[in-house]
Amino acid sequence: MRISTPLMEQFGIDAILRQQAKLSKTQLQLSTGQRILTPSDDPSAAVRALDLKESLENNRQFQSNIQAVRSRLEFEESTLAGADNVLQRARELAVRSLNDTLSPSDRQAIGQEMQQLLDEMLGLANTRDANGEYIFAGFRSNTVPFAFDGGRTPPSYVYQGDKNQRLLQIAPQRHLADGDSGFSIFENIPSSSGANAIAASGGTQNILNTLYSLTQTLSGQFTASHGAVMGTNDLSSGIDYSGGPAKNFDLAVDGGAPVTVSVAAANYASADDLVAAINAGINATALNGTVVAQHRSGFIEFVSTTTGTASSVEISDDTDGVLTDFGFAGPQTGTGADVAFHDAASAALNDIDAALQNILDTRASVGARLNALDEQEDVHDKFIIDTQANLSEIEDLDYAEAISRYNIQFVALQAAQQAYVKVQGLSLFNYL
185 DSSP assignment:
I
Q: Which of 113, 335, 100 is nearest to 214 (CA)?
A: 113
Give the chain's domain count. Answer: 2
> Is 327 contained in some domain?
yes
Residue 250 lies in a domain: yes
Q: Which residues are within 8 A (CB) of 135 and not within 5 positions of it... i.e. 6 or more apart?
A: 72, 75, 76, 79, 127, 128, 129, 141, 179
Q: What are the CA-CA distances from residue 211 to residues 111, 118, 125, 422 (Å)?
A: 10, 6, 13, 103
Q: Residue 70's Cα: distance from chain center in Å?
A: 12
133/231 same-domain check: no
Regarding whether 351 and 310 lie in a shared domain, the answer is: no
CA–CA distance, 39 with 47 (Å, rounded to integer):
8
Name the residue among 426, 430, 429 with its Cα closest to residue 12: 426
Do 284 and 328 lie in one domain? The reply is: yes
Per-residue CA distances from 38 to 171, 244, 409 (Å): 32, 68, 20
CATH number of the structural domain spanning residue 372: 1.20.1330.10
User: Does 167 lie in the same domain as 53?
Assistant: yes
- The last residue of one of the domains, among 304, 336, 368, is 336
* Residue 193 to residue 1: CA distance in whole angstroms: 110
Query: In 3D, which of 58, 23, 59, 29 has the Cα closest to residue 41?
Result: 29
Q: Would you say residue 158 lies in a domain?
A: yes
Cα–Cα distance for residue pair 167/163, rounded to 1 Å = 13
Q: Are residues 113 and 254 in the same domain?
A: no
61 and 168, same domain (yes or no): yes
For residue 388, the tally of other CB atoms under 10 A from its CB is 12
Residue 239 lies in a domain: yes
**DSSP state string for 148-182:** EETTSSS-EEEE-S-S---EEEEETTEEEES---H
**Residue 281 resides in a domain:** yes
Claim to verify: residue 76 and residue 121 sit in the same structural domain: yes
Query: Where in the sequence is the domain holding 241, given as residue range(s)?
Result: 226-336
Question: What pLDDT score was predicted for residue 326?
Answer: 94
Check which CATH number belongs to the domain holding 300 and give it: 2.60.40
Confidence at residue 432, expressed as pLDDT on a 0 to 100 scale: 56
Query: Whole-prediction pTM value?
Result: 0.81
Rg (CA), the chain: 38
Residue 17 lies in a domain: no
359 pairs with which residues across the strands?
none
Please check whether residue 260 is in contact with residue 269, taking contact to mean a CB–CB distance below 8 angstroms.
no
DSSP codes, 61-76: HHHHHHHHHHHHHHHH
Same domain, yes or no: 176 and 52: yes
- Beta carbons within 8 Å of 405's beta carbon, 6+ residues apart: 26
Q: Is the separation of the CB atoms in 21 and 394 below 8 Å?
A: no
Using CA atoms, how far apart are residues 165 and 141, in angstroms rounded to an integer? 11
Please check whether residue 213 lies inside any domain of the structure.
yes
Give me the pLDDT at residue 337, please.
Answer: 81
Based on the fold, state whether residues 281 and 390 are members of the same structural domain.
Answer: no
Quick one: which of 55, 58, 61, 38 has its CA closest to 395?
38
The C-alpha angle with vertex 224 and arms to 349 and 353, in degrees rounded to 5, equals 10
Return the pLDDT at 46: 72
Q: According to the model, what pLDDT value does residue 339 have? A: 77
Q: Are residues 204 and 83 in the same domain?
A: yes
The sign one gets for the Cα dihedral 110, 115, 119, 121 is positive
pLDDT digits (tens), the chain, 432 positions: 555 566 666 766 766 677 677 667 667 767 676 666 666 666 776 777 778 878 899 999 999 999 999 999 999 999 999 999 999 999 999 999 999 888 889 999 999 999 999 999 999 999 999 899 999 999 999 999 999 998 888 888 999 999 999 999 999 999 999 999 999 999 988 886 665 555 556 678 889 999 998 898 888 877 778 888 899 999 999 999 998 899 999 999 999 999 999 999 999 999 999 999 999 999 999 999 999 999 988 999 999 999 888 999 999 998 899 999 999 988 999 888 887 788 888 888 989 999 999 999 999 999 999 999 999 999 999 988 888 888 777 766 666 776 777 677 777 767 766 766 666 665 555 555
Whether residue 231 is found in the same domain as residue 306: yes
Q: Is residue 65 part of a domain?
A: yes
